Chain A
Amino acid sequence: MSERLLAVRDLNVRYGKVEAIYQASISVDKGTIVSVIGPNGAGKTTLLNAIMGVLPSKGGIEFCGTDIGRLTTEQRVTKGMCLVPESRELFAQMSVSDNLELGAFTRYRRRDKGIKRSLDEVYELFPRLLERRTQLAGSLSGGERQMLALGRALMSKPTLLMLDEPSLGLAPLIVKEILQNISNLRSTGVSILLIEQNARAALQISDYGYVLENGDIAMEGASKDLANDPKVIESYLGMGGAGQEKERQ
């Protein structure tokens, strides 16, 4: 029986009058990868932003057994949560290495001694970032930006890493590489909550999955089971997905 890291209960998020998330409950266990799939506009990004405290929400959010619903985003980062948002939010006018260093801001405040080592680890994971460490983040290619966003998040040594479409706009080969990196992270003890348009790939690397439709959790289950569910296959893994898979090989 694994330990619960994140437990979201009956979460409601609204934009003005529009209800974007309605009574959603999800949980992430320690050391697992959980994916959330769903069509455009289902509320996946909204869900992550609410969990991170970027958007106000109603309902219960528990992290490591304590209620964090009242904490600010910054306090949640200090507790070990980290979000790589859909828009990445890099510091475009600052260098790659400055971006990475700033990822460890809360650790620096705690006088954590291991920041230098983490930096080396990130460079080892993404050698391209090492080559471009003095370049401005804004001048990186799309793929390099994704690596930097992921690297910056890893610099905070999160216990829960939330990724909003880490493969957005990337060439299939790089998607594979990034997803491989993500699934490798599990062995370092990081738990991951993953949102991915590429549902097939997401279910392949995750342990558990949720299907979000119109702000509602429509289905959930072990990723293996979801991947074999006829309804999921029809809506999310249909011919388009299979075609993509072939193209890649």
Chain B
Amino acid sequence: MDSSIFLLLAQDALTNGAIYILLAMATILIFGVTRITFLPQGEFVSYGALTLATLQMGKVPGTVWLVLVLGVVAAIMEAFRLQRAGLSREIPVAVVKTLIPPLVVSGIGYVCAPLNLNLGLQVLLTIMIVTMLGPLVYRVAFRPIADASILNLLIAAVAVHFALVGLGLLFFGAEGVRTPAFSEAQINLGVLTITGQSIWIYVTSIAFIGLLAYFFGRTMYGKALRAVAFNRNGARLVGISPSLAGTLAFALAALIGCLSGILIGPITTIYYDSGFLIGLKGFVSAIVGGMASYPLAAGGALLVGFSESFSSFWLSAYKDVVVFTMIIPVLLWLSLRSVHFEEEE
């Protein structure tokens, strides 16, 4: 291997690593706040890229309808829940409150999709649609079983993964897509060529990580999410409801996934099921961070990025195997340090 290949692989590793950092943060956030091992994180990635690609064709993406249907289901579930709790009087207000955001989002999506907006607006539209899916998935699939064991929550997460992949096939077909690059620029540094898109990825992910750090460190809602992750009972006693925290965490996770999808759309062909592997690599990074530490997970993400890109050079057929095998020493190390994710109560 000469230095130019090395630099090329390193660039690749950094671009992917940046995305894995974002996805690992989403995974840790959801696990901390809701105890859900959220395997379908990657589906937000593919939904993001595919929704943008569909908008590019001037068509209404299936995700718009998914938002609408999940919104209606969520409203019905809310009505039933209140009825059973003997709070029938609150049903009308709750149903309207549950319905308005998905109705507005899918309405805007439906109206704006055929307008051939410019790329920036289409990106915003995509982010709005896919981010809305996060809280809806939480409301429909996880909130009713919020107190279940970690294992049962994981099983539900696997079911959600299959449902979302299946729906992805239905909405977007089996064709892969590439979205247009945000920038066609290329910077030549001697042997190395840096593409505009990878700079976009670096800058956006660093900026977004900074934003998240600000959110968790400085804002009341960010601190509230951390508080729930650290001490669920304590959080309830200061009035932070677990369902509010879960909704917020899922919205952030969907936003992060969607953003990642939009960022890598121009450099990777995305199929309806591509998200899974990408999300799983974020998940491996999160495990390196013990499902709790953001900085360790970021290190893990870079490790995953590098081992993936260099093993694709030497053992290309096995690059995913190499990455996933990394979990074993990490888990061994974690269990030796006896970091356990104990069930509460």
Q: Which residues of B contact A105 (CB under 8 A)?
A: 220, 224, 238-240
Interface residues of chain B: helix, strand, loop or mixed (majority)? helix
- Are B239 and A92 in contact, CB atoms less than 8 angstroms apart? no
Q: List 18 A-B contacts (CB under 8 A).
A: A54-B236, A74-B236, A74-B239, A77-B238, A83-B237, A85-B233, A91-B226, A91-B231, A92-B230, A93-B226, A93-B230, A102-B220, A105-B224, A105-B240, A106-B239, A108-B220, A152-B238, A156-B238
Chain A 21-50 interface residues, beta-carbon cutoff 8 Å to B: none
Chain B minimum-CB-distance residue to A109: B239
- Are A89 and B224 in contact, CB atoms less than 8 angstroms apart? no
Known: A101-B220, A105-B220, A108-B220. A73 touches B227 (CB 8 A): no
Chain A 65-98 interface residues, beta-carbon cutoff 8 Å to B: 70, 72-74, 77-78, 82-83, 85, 87, 89-94, 98
Q: Which residues of B contact A89 (CB under 8 A)?
A: 231, 233-234, 237
Q: Which residues of B contact A101 (CB under 8 A)?
A: 220, 223
Q: Quick one: which of A73, A92, A93, A94 contacts B237, CB cutoff 8 A? A: A73
- Closest CB-CB distance, B214 to chain A, in whole Å? 14
- Docked CA distance A42–B234 (Å): 24
- Are A72 and B241 in contact, CB atoms less than 8 angstroms apart? yes
Among B234, B235, B238, B241, the one with the most A-chain Cβ atoms within 10 Å of its Cβ is B238
Q: Which residues of A contact B230 (CB under 8 A)?
A: 91-94
Q: Which residues of A contact B234 (CB under 8 A)?
A: 89-91
Other A-B pairs beyond A89-B233, A91-B231, A93-B226, 18, CB < 8 Å: A54-B233, A70-B86, A73-B236, A74-B236, A74-B240, A74-B241, A77-B238, A77-B239, A85-B233, A87-B233, A90-B234, A91-B226, A91-B227, A92-B231, A102-B238, A102-B240, A105-B238, A152-B238
Whether a CB of chain B sits under 8 angstroms from the CB of A215 is no
Q: Mark B210-252, 1 if CB is under 8 A from A, else 0.
A: 0000000000100110110011011111111100000000000
- Docked CA distance A78–B85 (Å): 19
Q: Mark B190-221, 1 if CB is under 8 A from A, else 0.
A: 00000000000000000000000000000010
Interface size class of B (residues with CB under 8 A): 10 to 19
A contacts, CB < 8 Å to B: 52, 54, 70, 72-74, 77-78, 82-83, 85, 87, 89-94, 98, 101-103, 105-106, 108-109, 152, 156
Q: Quick one: which of A72, A74, A102 contacts B227, CB cutoff 8 A? A: A102
- Docked CA distance A221–B275 (Å): 67
- Docked CA distance A200–B329 (Å): 58
Q: Please name the 9 residue pairs, one residue from A and one from B, whose CB atoms are nearest each other, closest first.
A: A89-B234, A77-B239, A106-B239, A74-B241, A73-B236, A74-B239, A108-B220, A91-B227, A91-B230
- Docked CA distance A108–B86 (Å): 29
Whether a CB of chain A sits under 8 angstroms from the CB of B87 is yes
Chain B minimum-CB-distance residue to A77: B239
Q: Which residues of A contact B227 (CB under 8 A)?
A: 91, 94, 102
Q: Which residues of A contact B223 (CB under 8 A)?
A: 94, 98, 101-102
Q: Which residues of A contact B224 (CB under 8 A)?
A: 102, 105
- Are B87 and A70 in contact, CB atoms less than 8 angstroms apart? yes
Q: Which residues of A contact B236 (CB under 8 A)?
A: 54, 72-74
- Closest CB-CB distance, A115 to chain B, in whole Å? 9
- Closest CB-CB distance, B234 to chain A, in whole Å? 3
Q: Which residues of B contact A77 (CB under 8 A)?
A: 237-239
Q: Which residues of A contact B238 (CB under 8 A)?
A: 77, 102-103, 105-106, 152, 156
Chain A minimum-CB-distance residue to B233: A89
Q: Which residues of A contact B87 (CB under 8 A)?
A: 70
- Closest CB-CB distance, B162 to chain A, in whole Å? 32
Q: Which residues of A contact B85 (CB under 8 A)?
A: 70
- Docked CA distance A74–B227 (Å): 14
Q: Quick one: which of A70, A87, A90, A156 contacts B239, CB cutoff 8 A? A: A156
- Closest CB-CB distance, A96 to chain B, in whole Å? 13
- Closest CB-CB distance, A16 to chain B, in whole Å? 14
